[in-house]
Amino acid sequence: MNRIVLLGSILLLVVTLLAGRLWGSQAAVAAAVFGGLAIAIQLSAFALMRPARDDKVEKYLKAWGAGMGLRLGGVVAIAVAAGLDPARFPPLAAALGFLGVLLPLLFYEVRLIR
Protein backbone atom coordinates (compact mmCIF):
# COMPACT_ATOMS: atom_id res chain seq x y z
CA MET A 1 0.00 0.00 0.00
CA ASN A 2 2.89 2.35 0.63
CA ARG A 3 3.95 1.87 -2.98
CA ILE A 4 0.49 2.86 -4.16
CA VAL A 5 0.62 6.03 -2.08
CA LEU A 6 4.13 6.90 -3.29
CA LEU A 7 3.38 6.28 -6.97
CA GLY A 8 0.00 8.01 -6.64
CA SER A 9 1.61 11.06 -5.05
CA ILE A 10 4.16 11.33 -7.86
CA LEU A 11 1.42 11.00 -10.47
CA LEU A 12 -0.70 13.54 -8.59
CA LEU A 13 2.15 16.05 -8.69
CA VAL A 14 2.68 15.51 -12.42
CA VAL A 15 -0.99 15.89 -13.40
CA THR A 16 -1.43 18.91 -11.13
CA LEU A 17 1.55 20.68 -12.67
CA LEU A 18 0.43 19.72 -16.18
CA ALA A 19 -3.12 20.99 -15.63
CA GLY A 20 -1.78 24.21 -14.12
CA ARG A 21 0.52 24.73 -17.09
CA LEU A 22 -2.19 24.01 -19.64
CA TRP A 23 -5.27 25.67 -18.12
CA GLY A 24 -4.28 27.76 -15.09
CA SER A 25 -4.42 27.56 -11.33
CA GLN A 26 -8.09 26.58 -10.95
CA ALA A 27 -7.53 23.66 -13.30
CA ALA A 28 -4.57 22.60 -11.17
CA VAL A 29 -6.81 22.59 -8.10
CA ALA A 30 -9.44 20.48 -9.89
CA ALA A 31 -6.79 18.03 -11.09
CA ALA A 32 -5.35 17.78 -7.59
CA VAL A 33 -8.75 17.17 -6.00
CA PHE A 34 -9.69 14.40 -8.41
CA GLY A 35 -6.18 12.95 -8.42
CA GLY A 36 -6.42 12.69 -4.63
CA LEU A 37 -9.82 11.04 -5.00
CA ALA A 38 -8.27 8.55 -7.42
CA ILE A 39 -5.60 7.63 -4.86
CA ALA A 40 -8.24 7.10 -2.18
CA ILE A 41 -10.38 4.99 -4.50
CA GLN A 42 -7.42 2.89 -5.59
CA LEU A 43 -6.36 2.26 -1.99
CA SER A 44 -9.90 1.21 -1.13
CA ALA A 45 -10.19 -1.08 -4.14
CA PHE A 46 -6.83 -2.69 -3.38
CA ALA A 47 -7.87 -3.24 0.22
CA LEU A 48 -11.00 -5.02 -1.03
CA MET A 49 -9.05 -7.20 -3.47
CA ARG A 50 -6.15 -8.23 -1.29
CA PRO A 51 -7.96 -10.67 1.03
CA ALA A 52 -10.05 -12.10 -1.82
CA ARG A 53 -7.22 -12.98 -4.19
CA ASP A 54 -6.57 -16.40 -2.63
CA ASP A 55 -10.21 -17.19 -1.96
CA LYS A 56 -13.01 -18.58 -4.09
CA VAL A 57 -13.63 -17.12 -7.52
CA GLU A 58 -17.03 -15.77 -6.46
CA LYS A 59 -15.52 -13.77 -3.60
CA TYR A 60 -12.76 -12.49 -5.88
CA LEU A 61 -15.26 -11.37 -8.51
CA LYS A 62 -17.38 -9.61 -5.90
CA ALA A 63 -14.33 -7.73 -4.61
CA TRP A 64 -13.29 -6.89 -8.16
CA GLY A 65 -16.80 -5.64 -8.95
CA ALA A 66 -16.86 -3.51 -5.81
CA GLY A 67 -13.54 -1.94 -6.79
CA MET A 68 -14.80 -1.21 -10.28
CA GLY A 69 -17.93 0.29 -8.75
CA LEU A 70 -15.76 2.64 -6.70
CA ARG A 71 -13.88 3.67 -9.82
CA LEU A 72 -17.14 4.27 -11.67
CA GLY A 73 -18.27 6.39 -8.73
CA GLY A 74 -15.21 8.57 -9.29
CA VAL A 75 -16.20 9.11 -12.91
CA VAL A 76 -19.70 10.04 -11.79
CA ALA A 77 -18.20 12.48 -9.26
CA ILE A 78 -16.34 14.22 -12.09
CA ALA A 79 -19.56 14.56 -14.08
CA VAL A 80 -21.47 15.91 -11.09
CA ALA A 81 -18.76 18.37 -10.04
CA ALA A 82 -18.15 19.61 -13.59
CA GLY A 83 -21.88 19.84 -14.24
CA LEU A 84 -22.68 21.78 -11.07
CA ASP A 85 -19.68 24.12 -11.07
CA PRO A 86 -17.63 24.02 -14.29
CA ALA A 87 -15.72 27.16 -13.33
CA ARG A 88 -14.37 25.53 -10.19
CA PHE A 89 -14.02 22.03 -11.67
CA PRO A 90 -13.13 22.32 -15.37
CA PRO A 91 -14.09 18.97 -16.92
CA LEU A 92 -10.84 18.32 -18.79
CA ALA A 93 -8.66 19.16 -15.81
CA ALA A 94 -10.77 17.06 -13.44
CA ALA A 95 -10.69 14.12 -15.85
CA LEU A 96 -6.93 14.51 -16.34
CA GLY A 97 -6.40 14.47 -12.59
CA PHE A 98 -8.59 11.44 -12.01
CA LEU A 99 -7.62 9.29 -14.99
CA GLY A 100 -3.99 10.40 -15.02
CA VAL A 101 -3.59 9.02 -11.52
CA LEU A 102 -6.08 6.15 -11.52
CA LEU A 103 -5.13 4.36 -14.74
CA PRO A 104 -1.41 3.95 -13.99
CA LEU A 105 -2.30 2.83 -10.46
CA LEU A 106 -4.78 0.34 -11.87
CA PHE A 107 -2.10 -1.19 -14.07
CA TYR A 108 0.30 -1.19 -11.14
CA GLU A 109 -2.29 -3.02 -9.02
CA VAL A 110 -2.18 -5.92 -11.46
CA ARG A 111 1.52 -6.35 -10.68
CA LEU A 112 0.90 -6.22 -6.94
CA ILE A 113 -1.94 -8.74 -6.90
CA ARG A 114 -0.06 -11.49 -8.75
Provide the Cα torsion 88, 93, 99, 105; round to 10°.
Answer: -90
What's the pLDDT at 27?
Answer: 97
Q: Is residue 37 domain-resident?
A: yes
What's the pLDDT at 10?
Answer: 97
Q: What is the pLDDT along the chain (114 residues), one digit of tens a residue?
A: 788 999 999 999 999 999 999 999 999 999 999 999 999 999 999 999 888 877 788 988 999 999 999 999 999 999 999 999 999 999 999 999 999 999 999 999 877 666
Q: Is residue 16 domain-resident?
A: yes
Q: Which 3 state secondary structure label does DSSP give 53?
A: coil
CA distances from 7 to 10, 27, 65, 69, 91 (A): 5, 21, 24, 22, 24
Question: For the chain, what is the domain count?
Answer: 1
Q: Running DSSP on this structure, what letter comes out for residue 89?
A: S
Q: Is residue 75 domain-resident?
A: yes
pTM (two decimals): 0.92
Domain of residue 101 covers 2-109
Number of H helices, E strands in the chain: 4, 0
Q: Is residue 114 domain-resident?
A: no
Q: Is residue 52 domain-resident?
A: yes
Q: Which 3 state secondary structure label does DSSP give 1?
A: coil
Query: Which of 2, 17, 9 has its CA nearest to residue 38?
Result: 9
What's the pLDDT at 105?
Answer: 94
What's the pLDDT at 114?
Answer: 64
